[in-house]
Amino acid sequence: MLNDPARLDDPLWILRHLGEDEVVQLMERSQLHGRPALALATAHVFLHRLDSSPVSRRELFREFQKRLRRLGAIAEFDAMTPEEMNLVLVDTLQRISA
């Protein structure tokens, strides 16, 4: 599920950078992350925005997951293009960090 096809040299790089709690949260929220594209995009956006957040890593990821779960009730992630999904994820994460 977290195999990054864009990184042929190291497709499982994400697993080395996510903490155990973060991986568990991704795996336990099947209503969101049962979609491999969403799980990969969520992890990717989180890891690339992590350094710019004043919120603790643990709280940032938990709040990110809560907001995505609520958003999933009204937004169809499967119908989004990768670019649209990325914009939604980045916007959601930035709102937490602000």
Q: What integer pLDDT is reported at residue 76 of this predicted model? A: 92
If we measure between CA atoms, which residue out of 80, 67, 66 comes closest to residue 35? 80
Positive or negative CA dihedral for 58, 83, 27, 76? positive
Q: 55 or 16: whose pLDDT is higher?
A: 16
Domains in the chain: boundaries: 13-97
Q: What integer pLDDT is reported at residue 81 of this predicted model? A: 96
Q: Give the residue ranges of DSSP H helices in the chain.
A: 13-17, 20-28, 30-33, 36-49, 57-72, 82-97
pLDDT tens digits, one per residue of 25-84: 888 877 776 788 899 999 999 998 877 778 888 999 999 999 999 998 899 999 999 999
